[in-house]
Structure 1
């Protein structure tokens, strides 16, 4: 038998398996207005047979370096109506058509003893998935955020999962969920997981602080240019989105930008740190973003000079400076405002200001190592 035959057979089996997983689901619903009270009203992801399953046409994706949210794991998906596609952009968020529904489900791996309120602090996601969905025997669902593109722009709608893990309910005013992170060494850290309300969503998702219109953050070429293990096998995400008709105009992956994985020690320290700052800080710290008055630019476009904070005095950091003189002091992370604010969980000092209640220890260590490796010095002007 030919290789072509086996490829076709494998693809057919994958499609049949996927169809079996979607058995009984109503088609994905695009709600042109309003705030549906239940996540299941969208029919994007639903709990069935002990799994959080993806509906037909719902495509999962991941980012080279993800935004940190209190060590939560995330399942991201895109769905579009038939006959429309997003337009590729090499730098900015893709131009998604009206009708697009993007979901992001936040969850944690369960601890070994399964104690209520305890969640695992781990980067290991090998036990999370059942096909392209999530195995609820292994994970605890927290929230799912919907971004829907309507005729008047994007709308952000948060949903919080119930204790039974059967449904997520609309949470327009947000929520505060007490949880405990449990590490592999059994150390424990109590924290409040904060689900943002609808107005808080705009503080990160408003790419232009003048218009305040929100947009997705993650679906950019440099974040998506990586492989993903789909039901049909591993494939580059840009190529897969083109193949299924969800994207037009993308070049070959080798010609598209690609951020580093911040955890990939084979990548340069500079590439890893810049990728981390880009996804965690760049959506606000850019010339049009919410933090544009700070003169601190942390997205991928920033040159490595005062725009990036090197020897730059703070503009409006208040007590968030920690009495330090410059955003970044080359070679001296403990004298730098950037790492100081990242290492704080005090609401008056911490950066980012929302989206986390805990300190990302490994992220802070990365940025400190990056600052420590920078040559040069700063001279304070009195």
Structure 2
């Protein structure tokens, strides 16, 4: 394990030799720290062996290195339990390519069990995810959760008890899910906004809905297609829906076998589908859910669906939900084996008919019944007047479409041990903060040395009411290059430094402060890197802590009340998670618009950008009157409510919720430059929210903060709901008040279904 002692003992270090190795771990009180430390130090090609046993973890695990294998002794023998989780909303979050996870279980995570984001070549083999107290709304959302991945294999896995989907593949390409079992989830297996997927040989039973193929609006990757479902056993998926309200799967009727929604080119064949009490097989448009839709590039219609050579038996006798009950009352019998909503894109009609390749086609499914519910004409008026007539004749849908091609996965790439450049940076990092020479004396007063420049921001990242001291050190003779948008362009060798502290009494700064940690970001030729130093109790120095930590703190708040919390020091991989933009580490704060403010210097008060320019440290600066200025969210004189609210969201949320951030998969874009309200979340359906939805259906409902998911997440203390989900354990009440006012003052749409 790489520790402070490893980097302080030798006067002259030899270059770090990186070689792939095999490491073995056993259960015990130190497992969490030791295993996370190894994940931080992982070399491409490493194999991490977990012995049989019950591992208890309190925090989520992070992995960013390519070509790593994590291997247990079997999913009933090696169990990672998060039942007492206190930090992080996931079990394992990984983003490295050529990843293999096999033969272990993850149980009882607060939110998602295993999430793999943006990786290429991912294998889940013999992995189990489970919430062991049975189906509950408070269970986590997803079991196995690869998203925006390519070349994914899920085989011989088990998923039980997810409050959304047991096995979920989202916004991915080239996927195989085979020979796995999904049971007691809301959705057993869900393929969403994905291109090229084969799902076969699986047992899907005892869920609310068995196998779902969805395409949703508002996501970066949309219009999924080319999905084959074959040789699966999908039976008795009759579990009452326990998804939190507001999530898309909360609308899935209990008793759903296969549900295809808005996805094109789906082939369903050679499956055994039986005894699903509502709909054995249904094909519908997004419009049937009655939700607003604000995505002009989204196609809500399922086209090119070919259902053939299946055994479909039983079911339909006890439909769930208003639509199912209505259809049963009108048909007077059990619901047919295949139900179609009949909604088509009339713009694509040719001579009054849909082209064959875009139609629903049925062939050789045995002695089955069919129902076109003609959802477009399903209105109370038509029902009352007898004009609504669902159509049972399937002759116009009988026929065949060309078979889809099988998915072919590529082999994993070979490891490159020297690819993890972070290890050399961590190895070279001084073990003590004092060795960097940033501060006068011990650093307790945070008075910088002559070559270290203090700076501050207009709107800052909230971290549980901590005070932050910010500094920058530039290489001698080098300059920062001005740029209007994004973070300023710093020269190689620059350091950004931020110390977190608590004032002992916020009403009286003179009473002193307790220093907690100092985070250092260092720009090398290969990019930015970050790590933390934890201050000792004596406040005389801080020690390098790549594995992070927690610090119990208390203070007198501005209202005179004593408060306490446990401050989280992020591990090095968590730093990467928050600072990642397009898979590169990027600082969050020092952009020109957020630096465009006054500050106190030894020679007086001056605008920070003007000061840096005058000192010859910043080049290319236009006149101050030409530089935009980010509002101070806490200052009503700095901008409108709209401007201040969006400034707060930009600084506190947009590093993840932006096209290049780690929450890009949600489609939410909270950058200050984003002008489309739909991208902020107005009338946007939640994605992967789980109980983070708070029972609400949209991220923002204009005029109704009490119905908006955004407000719920800002106010929640639930690990699976609170935002931001790293570093915050205290609700930022001033921000809650401002965001609530912002949503309340948004114009209310009086008559807009959002549908084409």
> How many angstroms apart in 2 are the aligned matches of 1:44 and 1:77?
9
1:186 deviates by: 3.5
Asked if residue 310 in structure 1 is aligned to residue 310 in structure 2, the reply is no
**Which consecutive aligned stretches of 4+ in structure 1 deviate over 4 angstroms post-superposition?**
378-382
Query: What's the counterpart of residue 234 of structure 1?
Result: 605
Distance 1:239 1:185, change over 3 A: closer
Contact kept? 2:471, 2:496, Cα under 8 Å:
yes
CA contact (8 A) 2:592 2:627 kept: yes
Give the superposed CA RMSD: 2.0
Q: Which residue of 2 aligns with 1:358?
A: 730
The question of whether the paired residues in 1 share the 8 Å contact of 2:439 and 2:446 is answered with yes
Over alpha carbons, which structure has the higher Rg? 2
Q: 1:369 aligns with which of 720, 723, 741?
A: 741
Deviation at 1:183, TM superposition (A): 2.2
Distance (whole Å) between structure 2 residues aligned to residue 246 and residue 37 of structure 1: 29
SS at match of 1:146: strand
Q: Equivalent residue for 1:165? A: 539
Partner residue of 1:298? 670
Residue 340 (1) aligns with residue 712 (2): yes
Change in 2 beyond 3 A, CA 1:144/1:50: closer
Equivalent of residue 320 in structure 1, options 692, 707, 716? 692
For residues 588 and 444 of structure 2, the distance between their equivalents in structure 1, rounded to whole angstroms, comes to 30
Higher-RCO chain (CA-CA 8 Å, sequence separation at least 6)? 1
- Aligned residues between the structures: 329
More strand by share: 2
Cα distance in structure 2, aligned partners of 1:88 and 1:342: 33
User: 1:48-197 residue pairs with structure 2 within 5 A?
Assistant: 48=442, 51-111=445-505, 120=506, 127=509, 138-197=512-571
What secondary structure does 1:45 align onto?
A: coil
Work out the CA distance in 1 between the residues paired with 2:617 and 2:653: 28
More helix by percentage: 1
**Which deviates the most, 301-310 or 58-67?**
301-310
Kindly indicate whether residue 625 of structure 2 is the aligned counterpart of residue 254 of structure 1: yes
CA deviations over 1:341-378 (Å, ceiling 9, x no partner): 01112111011111211111111111001111111148
Residue 187 of structure 2 corresponds to none
- Residues in 1 aligned to 2:633 and 2:524: alpha-carbon distance in whole angstroms: 34
Give the CA deviation at 1:244.
2.0
Q: Is 1:263 the counterpart of 2:634 in the alignment?
A: yes
Aligned counterparts of 2:642 and 2:601: Cα–Cα separation in 1? 30
Alignment partners' CA distance in 1, 2:645 and 2:555: 25
Which 10-residue stretch deviates more, 347-356 or 241-250? 241-250
Alpha-carbon shift at residue 181 of structure 1 (Å): 3.9
Structure 2 residue matching 1:51: 3-state secondary structure:
coil
- Give the drift of 1:381: 7.8
Tell me the distance in 2 between the aligned counterparts of 1:35 and 1:230: 29
Please report how far the alpha carbon of residue 50 of structure 1 lies from its aligned counterpart in structure 2 after TM superposition: 6.1
Distance 1:47 1:175, change over 3 A: farther
Q: Which runs of 5+ in 1 are unaligned?
A: 1-30, 112-119, 129-136
| Closer/same/farther in 2, CA of residues 250 and 191 from structure 1, 3 Å limit | same
Separation in structure 2 between the aligned mates of residue 381 and residue 259 of structure 1, nearest angstrom: 32
> CA shift at 1:52, angstroms?
2.5
Cα distance in 2, alignment partners of residues 183 and 94 from structure 1: 34
Deviations 1:208-260 (A, max 9, x none): 2xxx2212111101110111111111111111111222211111121011100
| Cα separation, 2, equivalents of 1:243 and 1:93 | 20
* Structure 2: 5+ residue stretches without partners: 1-423
Residues in 2 aligned to 1:84 and 1:50: alpha-carbon distance in whole angstroms: 28
Q: Secondary structure at the match of 2:650?
A: helix
Q: Any idea what SS the aligned residue of 1:239 has? A: helix
